[in-house]
Structures are given as C-alpha cells and as structure tokens.
Amino acid sequence: MKRFGLLGFSLLLLPALAAWPHPQAPETSPKKVIEKVPIKPTSASSGEEMYKEYCAVCHGLDGKGNGPAASALKTPPPDLSLLAKNNGGKYPASHVVAILNFGSSAPAHGSADMPVWGRLLSSLQTHRSTPAIVQLRIKNLTDYIESLQAK
C-alpha cells in the first residue's frame, strides 16, 4: 500500500515539477555575418555610384562608419568624413588611393574585413577592366570620398 501511495504522490508531483518555472538562459542575438557576394559592375565615371555599391554597406551613406554591416566587423570602420580633419585639414587623397589599391595595415583594415578594391576592380568581368580604367575608378571613388568631408 505504501508503494502505491508513493507512486501516486510521484505521479501528482511530476506535472507540478514540469510546470515549475525554470531559469532561462539569457537570449543572445545571433552573430551577424557578412555574406561575400560577387562584385557588381558599376560605372567607372561615377564615384558616388561606386561608393554606394561598394563602401556604404560598412562606412554608411554619409561615410561616418555607420553602415548596416558595420556591427558585424571585427573593428569598426573609420569615419571617412573626418579624413581631412584628422590630417590637419588636408584631405589625404594619395593615402586613400593607396588603401583602395593595396589595402592597409591600419587596425580597421588589418582585420581583413575591407577588401583590397584595386584587385577586385581589376577582376570585374567586363571588357573595360584595364589598369587605366581601374585607376580611373579609384580616382573617382577617392574624389567622391573627399566630397563627404566634414565642413
């Protein structure tokens, strides 16, 4: 009889334990992942078009480093609108050209999150991907970034 009483009590206790609130592990938001996609051809003559297609996803439309993919990067992208201000008031065009062509060892680029655009622009599947066109693209992109400088 004792055995059945213990079994009955256990059967009553089991649903109560199942309904008992259990501490929940804190929800963590999933880690953002930047999906690498093929480079989309743009007009070599439009620095703005290239910037919006290739740069704004990380640097933001205004160049302030607030693009939709910025939070997924290991190192936040720099505020491109402050390049001149951080260089004594002079826009460092040759430095920007060098970074676009060859990459950089700067912390933001040392994470390898930023592509070396010179190489990628050379690989565009168009008949216009000559070295001169690649340099025209980089110049026009550099000029557009200059237009984003804080006044």
DSSP structural state of residue 149 = -
pLDDT, one tens digit per residue, over 48-73 is: 999 999 999 999 999 999 999 888 88
CATH number where 81 lies: 1.10.760
Nearest alpha-carbon partner for 49 in 131, 151, 123, 143: 143
In the chain, how many domains are there?
Answer: 1
Q: Is residue 103 part of a domain?
A: yes
Q: Is residue 89 part of a domain?
A: yes
Look up the pTM and report it. 0.70
Domain span holding position 134: 39-147
pLDDT, one tens digit per residue, over 141-151 is: 999 999 999 98
Are the beta carbons of 41 and 126 closer than 8 angstroms? yes
